[in-house]
A and B are shown apart, each in its own frame.
Chain A
């Protein structure tokens, strides 16, 4: 008989088993019936001799091979029925699980996308990043987040290296797609000819840039990313050969990259790829390839495919032997002896490139791991809650289990039914958690993206993530779901049945387990709550920080004049005229021009030197501003005067500095006015000293998290024409709110010359966007902290309700003997306080131990801030006591007679 056949003859077998056993008992009865023994008595004896019929049947079924499958369906249906009979329990359990799993899976998914995912290219394991170790920033222009090499240095490395074949360079850039009007930047990457060949990428359409496209003086052409091709051209196949305009230069479209390839920088997606050799076409005299400053323009990153018989250490060694010669050939002409010495000390390090380049990874990895830790704690608390729920539920089912064991259910079967219930809960929790995770991780990415820095993460549904989540869910529920079953088996059924309404196992042991669980929940919640408060206060500190200027009501207009090809002599008067027109717009309270706006990511600095040309105190930040800048920004002029129309390119050199500058570079002198300042200048190009004419209050330059730093302000009229005719940044203070000025200012600028490329941003928004990471930490840790406290409160409520139920009788006796209601409440709350106190004590220790991880992410307070910890303790204790007050009050309202009668 086949196995399958046996399975389908189940019904038949059930009745056969029945008749077989019945036959036995009838025969035995017949045998025992005789003189003096009635058949009823004989049957009783036969049954006694036989043993429990149901138990025997159960054992017989188990002896069959198909038993497991036969009963599985029944167990699942049974589990469904039991769960749907207690919808409250089921809902709380599933929601608890879903929240725990969803939060973890979402964060894990992000970490996976940012840190662990390998590049979607051929054999990523053989790719290596050739990283230049710079022990100081040197001096020069830096473009893009991965600016490691100058073009001349890259050429030297490419010629001399032996470890990689092929080797490629690339650099990220933003290039304007628009022809006039408001700018529309594309995420561009400059790629060397071997870029796509090194990665092993094949074109979807047309052809990808190859070595033959990368020749000095090339005409250039562009490849589009799949997403950009879809977005801008609707995926039209005839796009090849059409023209794309970048920075006003037309380029033919050569091909389209496959959809899987988003670039080599995780977190950013490229739109267009342009060969490196086309850079001079776009940037002309400012070219970083053949312009005068090519040797101090850092803009490229290098990676290569390791030759088969080479290892990373060997490659590093070879590169470092050829590096000195490469550096010697490319020393920037303006460097002095000191800087050359440092330049020559650079070294090379190689590291696996399988996960690509990512500044997102560098910036976000600490917060993400920390968030994963926090969400892990939430999951632990959720598990604790679930365990408590299951334990409390087990108490009410003790009699059911005992009865079923007595009736012959095997322990194994009982455990399996519990397993089914647990599994159903876990599956439901995982499914809900999966949906939650998808929504959560999407909104996280949306949260992190800003218009200036759109983040793209490839996050398809990942089986690893789902497996991770499902594994967690199943482990949790199965672990705690089985506890009642294991317990039930240990206690003789008869004693449970005998003990009537009161559960036999409601003794000290499980009570202890539940208390330990609740105390741990309180402890972990304290960690999360303290963390949430820390991040919230840090964000609060940042947002309420004294900036040194008034951020509200300022519109920033970044205007680019490149396409106007202004004569150098006119650029200054052109800006003056434009500023004059902007000031005339109704609603404008004040306006000024500058070369940058605060907290925009644009920074410039220069070395301040002493009489001997040494720079012991390093560099100071700087800005070029027009008269009225301080008034526009509402910065306080502490001493001296503002710039005025008399400060021109030809008048004596003047500078206004801030208080931090006075402290650091002028020894904190009381009277800095008329002090002389000398800046480092390249040999053979001496600059006159600058005279301090004013001192302004400190203000934030670029980093909201940094303390006030020294800043020098020069008159924008002094700006070298070469920079001045490229563009200006207008800061416009409005009487009506910054956004109201957007259209008038836009129209005014376009009215002067429609060829001006302009980009607008509200200063306050720009500053807020620099706090994204802090906001993310505050929001998410707040979410987790709230969740943790809620779960702990539910846990406390559950355990106290349970305690009260168990002690109904005792409380009844106490009240019958004259105990006041208030003393009953005190009795119960005393117990709660004890649990909370233990939890809080342990939690405070954990918080202090764990908070160090958060230290680097906090502003204006220390990670072990006592006030925050104290606040967390008070909040948690308050919520905990409130949660337990309800059951305590219920206990105090017991009718003593009813409580006693329950016995």
Chain B
């Protein structure tokens, strides 16, 4: 862990992936770029560690994948959200919001 970059909070990588994939079919490389872009390179992400998470999500039925051509004509594995995955994303986001609210509340009021 460096000073400027923070490791992705344990357990939240799955949620971030689901959120990014929810926008539409997307391949692994693009997912990693998107996460770094949106977070303004805040997270320190070993890019390879994305793939085991992708495969796990696929194996559990939250993601579906097929091979499609990219804009440049290369074959790439595109992931998209399944209905089960969408539900999972919703419950994870709810849980996350409840938790951040609770944490914020404690930080505000415990001064």
Contacts and interface: CB of A to CB of B under 8 A. Distances in A.
Interface of A: 16-17, 19-21, 23-24, 27-28, 49-53, 55-56, 59-60, 62-65
A60 B27 contact: no
Contacts of B67: 16
Given A23-B76, A64-B59, A50 B29 contact: no
A56 B52 contact: yes
Interface string B69-85: 00000111100000000
B25 to A, nearest CB: 14
23 contacts: A16-B67, A16-B77, A17-B55, A19-B75, A20-B77, A21-B51, A23-B28, A23-B75, A23-B76, A24-B28, A49-B46, A51-B46, A51-B48, A51-B49, A52-B48, A55-B48, A56-B48, A56-B52, A59-B52, A60-B55, A62-B52, A63-B59, A65-B59
Contacts of B28: 20, 23-24
Chain B contact-residue range equals: 10 to 19
Contacts of B75: 19, 23
Report which residue of A19, A27, A55 has the largest number of chain B beta carbons within 10 angstroms of its beta carbon. Answer: A27
Contacts of B29: 23-24, 27-28
Contacts of A16: 67, 77
A49 B77 contact: no
Report which residue of B28, B52, B76 has the largest number of chain A beta carbons within 10 angstroms of its beta carbon. Answer: B52
B47 interface: yes
Interface of B: 27-29, 32, 46-49, 51-53, 55-56, 59, 67, 74-77
A376 B27 CA distance: 61
B51 A20 contact: yes
List the 5 closest A-B pairs by CB distance, nearest first. Answer: A51-B48, A59-B52, A56-B48, A63-B56, A63-B55
A24 B59 contact: no
Given A27-B29, A28-B29, A49 B52 contact: no
A218 B75 CA distance: 100
Nearest to B32: A24
Nearest to A57: B51
A63 B55 CA distance: 6
Report which residue of A17, A53, A56, A62 has the largest number of chain B beta carbons within 10 angstroms of its beta carbon. Answer: A56
Contacts of A24: 28-29, 32, 47, 51
Contacts of A20: 28, 51, 76-77
Contact of A50 (B27, B46, B52, B59): B46
A64 B55 contact: yes
Report which residue of B27, B32, B49, B51 has the largest number of chain A beta carbons within 10 angstroms of its beta carbon. Answer: B51
Contacts, number: 57
A23 B77 contact: yes
Contacts of B52: 56, 59-60, 62-63
A23 B27 contact: yes
Given A21-B48, A52-B48, A53-B48, 9 more contacts: A16-B77, A17-B55, A19-B77, A51-B47, A51-B49, A59-B51, A63-B52, A64-B55, A64-B59
Given A20-B28, A23-B77, A50 B55 contact: no
A24 B46 CA distance: 13
A6 to B, nearest CB: 9
Contacts of B55: 17, 60, 63-64
A17 B46 CA distance: 18
A50 B77 contact: no
A21 B49 CA distance: 11
Nearest to A54: B48
Contacts of A55: 48
B32 A56 contact: no
Contacts of A28: 29, 47
A24 B53 CA distance: 15
Contacts of B53: 63
A27 B75 CA distance: 12
A64 B52 CA distance: 9
B51 A49 contact: no
A23 B51 CA distance: 12
A60 B51 CA distance: 6
Contacts of B56: 63
A17 B28 CA distance: 11
A48 to B, nearest CB: 9
A56 B51 contact: yes
Contacts of A17: 55
A260 B75 CA distance: 72
A683 B59 CA distance: 98
Nearest to A19: B75
Contacts of B74: 23
A316 B56 CA distance: 68
B91 to A, nearest CB: 21
A49 B47 contact: yes
Contacts of A50: 46-48
B71 to A, nearest CB: 12
A189 B5 CA distance: 92
A45 to B, nearest CB: 11
Nearest to A62: B52
A28 B75 CA distance: 15
Contacts of B49: 51, 56, 59
A23 B74 CA distance: 9
Report which residue of A20, A51, A55 has the largest number of chain B beta carbons within 10 angstroms of its beta carbon. Answer: A20
B63 to A, nearest CB: 12
